[in-house]
Amino acid sequence: MSKLQSPPYVRANTAEISPTALEQKRKNDFQLHDAIRLMNPIHLFSSLKSLPFMGKMATALALAMVAIAGTATGQQEAQFTHYMFNTLAYNPGYAGSKEYLSAVAVYRDQWAATGGKVGWEGRPITQTLSVHSTFKKRVGLGLNIINGSAGAREATYLSGIYAYRINFGKGTLSVGLQGGVMNWRADWSQLDFQQPQEIDNAFKTPSPSLWLPDFGAGLFFYTPNFYAGASMPHLANFQLRQLTPAEQGEVRKWARVHRHFYLTTGGAIPIKGDDLVFRPSFLLKSVGLFNNFFRQGDIVREIGAPVAFDLDAALFFHRKLWVGTSFTSAFAAFNNTGPKQTSHTSVDFYSVFHLENGLRIGLAYDYPLGKLKTVATGSFELMLGYDFYREVDKAVHIRYF
């Protein structure tokens, strides 16, 4: 197996960045921010509150999660084009919302061909499996398994989920909690080092492996034709290595588990009854609610990941076929001035087909934008799901979300 050239997004999360290399690292991090797309709730709060059927509900949803997310930082969690069909992966409040047993598996191959090489070694690859169901009347239970690799690093999450649902205005509000374990591991022998590996404390352990507790929380409000959610699926903020006393005043970045915040909303608008339904949706992802860096004395702890979003539009034909497109970018891409600039991420296309027996099959393709398109042909995603809705008398039609 050939060794990997240490890519920028790996170095930014696993090794120290010296002052002389900081500017180049910043440029590389932002060019490749598609690998670590993230979110922020402030920009969506006013639009949620203006919806005719929300009012105080929007205030409760937004402010509750804002209070939780005040210390959020980081840039490691997986992204999905089929996020609206895989909600449990980032919001435990979704558990049990379908009223029947539901399972979904997603495989994502990001930048499948990069730099002219098909199957570029070290590209981000993610697999997920989510299962959830109603238990009794108000309780939802679920299970999440997420595995993702990028460069020489890999992380696996295993979480059990509990959600409690209450009547809230004209809909249902579900409060979800999840808990489990995370295994973070790396194999530094896959990297080519510009300097001897022994002189860098970040790589002294050739194959580190850490088992860490993991827990998260989320809110999910829904009606038959509208939903809104806010979540932080991984609340833990553990360091993945300890700095030596000599490094305390020199190291600008080092490996750690970061908190991520998600805010999402969407609706279903019948155009021709159930035969044609329009579904817009929006997902906001952020590592913090304020600046992109924090100061501690003279040392700058830079986060490096811009606030990102997905804006989607889909049509549902005859309760069988979803066809949709989305635009993925970061708010920083609309700012052409300042020291930190980035480009738009991708234009995405996806479809999901519902079979009569409850099976769902989905495919997605992301076409990269900006400078990334000169070296990457795109990302691919496969989704398989199964809904046991025929086992429940109340479930008379396929859910829109």
Length, in residues, of the chain: 401
What percentage of the chain carries pLDDT values higher than 90? Answer: 44
CATH architecture of 4-391: Beta Barrel (2.40)
What percentage of the chain carries pLDDT values higher than 70? Answer: 71
pLDDT of residue 165 exceeding 50, the answer is yes
Structural element, H or E, at residue 383: strand 379-387
CB 242 within 8 A of CB 364: no
Query: How confident is the model over 38-96, as pLDDT tens digits?
Result: 333 333 333 333 333 344 443 333 333 333 333 333 345 778 999 999 999 999 999 99
| Token pair of 318 as six digits | 């005859």
Residue 76, pLDDT score: 59
Q: Where are the beta strands (DSSP E) in 28-186?
A: 102-109, 113-114, 117-118, 125-135, 139-150, 153-168, 171-186
pLDDT of residue 36 exceeding 60, the answer is no
Query: How confident is the model over 3-34, as pLDDT tens digits?
Result: 443 333 333 333 344 444 444 444 443 333 33
Among 73-77, 102-106, 159-163, 188-192, name the one with the lowest average pLDDT: 73-77
Query: How confident is the model over 122-143, as pLDDT tens digits?
Result: 889 999 999 999 998 899 999 9
Question: What is the residue whose two structure tokens read 């990997």?
Answer: 4
CA angle 13, 18, 22 (to 5 degrees): 75
At 229, is the secondary structure helix, strand, or coil?
Answer: strand
Residue 114, pLDDT score: 63
| DSSP classification of residue 243 | P
Query: How confident is the model over 96-116, as pLDDT tens digits?
Result: 998 889 999 999 999 886 666
Greater confidence (316 vs 376) lies with 316
Segments making up each domain of the chain, as ranges: 4-391
Mean pLDDT of all residues belonging to the chain: 77
Integer Cα distance of 209 and 255 in angstroms: 13
Start-to-end CA distance of the chain, whole Å, equals 43
